[in-house]
Structure formats: C-alpha cells, structure tokens
Amino acid sequence: TVAIRTLTMAMQEALEYESAVFSERVTSSQSANLVALRLNSSRAKKLSSTSPAYNVTDLAVIGSGVMGREIAFEALCADAINSVVLVDIKEEFLEKAGAEIGKLMAARVRSGKYTVSEGESKLRKLKTSVSYDAIINCQAIVEAVPEVEAIKFSTYAQIDAVMATRVVATPYFIYSNTSALNLEHLAAHVANPANFCGMHFFNPVSQMGAVEIPAIDSTNAETISTAIAIVNALGKLP
C-alpha cells in the first residue's frame, strides 16, 4: 500500500511519507511479534541437547493413512533420507497410499519445486511392505497407526521383534505421531523407552510447517536431537 501511494508523490514527499509509516509500524506489537517469530524459528531449527543427533538415512513409517503417507512423502523429498519404508497391514492400503504420494509429487513438480526426473528419482526411494521385516535397516521409525492403544502396542512389539534380529545391534528410534494418547503409557510397551518420544505432525503434513516433539522422562538426549534433525531434514519446524 505504501509503495502504491508513493508512486504519485514527489521524491522527497514519498521518502518522508515512507519514513513516517515505517517509524510507526516498526514499533508496533505486530512488528515485535513477527521479529520474535523469525528469531524463534531460527533458534528452533538449531536446538540441540547434550548429545549429537544420530545419522538417520533410512526412515520407516508405520501406517499408510492420511498422516502416514504424507509423512512418508516429505521424507522422500528430504535429500538426507536415502530410503523410506512404508508399512501397513494390507497391500490395498499401500497401493492407495502410493497413488496419493504420486499425486503429491506431481503437484510439487507442477509447482516447479522439482523437475520430472527429480520427482521420479525421489519416488524411487519408497519401498512399501506388509511385513515389518522391511524396516530392519532403518535407523528411525515414525509410528502413525490409528489412535488405539492396542494397535500401537502391537506395532511396537513387531518393531522391536524385527530389530532384535539384526546382526549388528545399532540404535534405532521410535517416534509416535500420537496427538491424544499418553506417551508415558505408550513408552512402557517399547523395548527401549530411552529411544522413544513423540513426533506429532499436523494435517495436512505436506502443507503444515510445524512438528511437535514431546519428550517424556525416559527419553534420552540423543533421541531428542535425532528427532530435531529428522524434522529439519523434512523441511519442517521442530
């Protein structure tokens, strides 16, 4: 508005008008809030705990519903993630999820974010499976199954059972996308509660920028740092 109004003014008059408006607005509460938002957003991206993040290059997502498939899509878009494993109980669920992920990628290509070949390359990072065995090489698992405790408990048991068969017992982290259930209660059903916390995305994931990372007393520093690093890699704000 200021720029448009100054188009019809003499130079000196325009400069004085612009200066007056700027002086008023730069001291407003709106200006202070915008500056704080910018600074806090920058700080959030750099948050770290006393432990460095674990290097996650292979990510699993359990549950291919609306939330799970969009989380998987954002992981596919992340340069730091080499592969994404999407697990569900039925092939038909995974086929639908794959089609929706393809639509999301096509939209990114149309927007100019990626070329056609770049989009195809990112989609090739996706593997779908009805078997938990497919997650064995993943360093982090995002659980996005329905908000039913029994389903979540079963999910954690299957994750831990597969990971217990690895030849080399490297760390792995489980992050729950729950928005309603008690994380302390959920943590009691994972093999290593220290490597468990929340990673709550907002719907639709592909359009929402923020991700909550709620921790519990048992969560260790590396788990939190790793969660922050994953969220940053996905282009979201932790």
Tens of pLDDT, residues 175-209: 999 999 999 999 999 999 999 999 999 999 999 98
**pLDDT score for 49:** 55
141's enclosing H/E stretch is strand 140-143
**pLDDT score for 112:** 96
**pLDDT score for 35:** 82
- Which residues 6+ apart lie within 8 Å of 83 measured at CB? 57, 58, 59, 125, 126, 127, 137, 138
**pLDDT score for 41:** 67
Supply 212's token pair: 């909550």
Compute the half-sphere exposure of residue 90: CA atoms within 13 Å on the CB side of its CA: 4
Using one digit for the tens of pLDDT, what is the confidence trace for 44-93? 666 655 678 999 999 999 999 999 999 999 999 999 999 999 999 999 99
* Integer Cα distance of 100 and 200 in angstroms: 21
CA dihedral 108, 114, 120, 123 (to 10 degrees): -60
Tell me if the bond preceding 193 is cis, omega within 30° of 0: no
**pLDDT score for 22:** 87
Q: What's the pTM?
A: 0.82
Confidence of residue 24 (pLDDT cuts 50, 70, 90): confident
Using one digit for the tens of pLDDT, what is the confidence trace for 104-144? 999 999 999 999 999 999 999 999 999 999 999 999 999 99
- Distances, alpha carbon 164 to alpha carbons 36, 150, 169, 219, 227, in Å: 45, 21, 8, 20, 22
Using one digit for the tens of pLDDT, what is the confidence trace for 108-117? 999 999 999 9
Q: How far is CA 6 from the centre of its chain?
A: 43
**pLDDT score for 58:** 98
* Integer Cα distance of 86 and 236 in angstroms: 20
* Integer Cα distance of 174 and 162 in angstroms: 13
**pLDDT score for 51:** 78
How does the average pLDDT of the chain come out, rounded? 93
Q: What is the mean pLDDT of the segment spanning 160-181?
A: 95
Supply 121's token pair: 């390359």
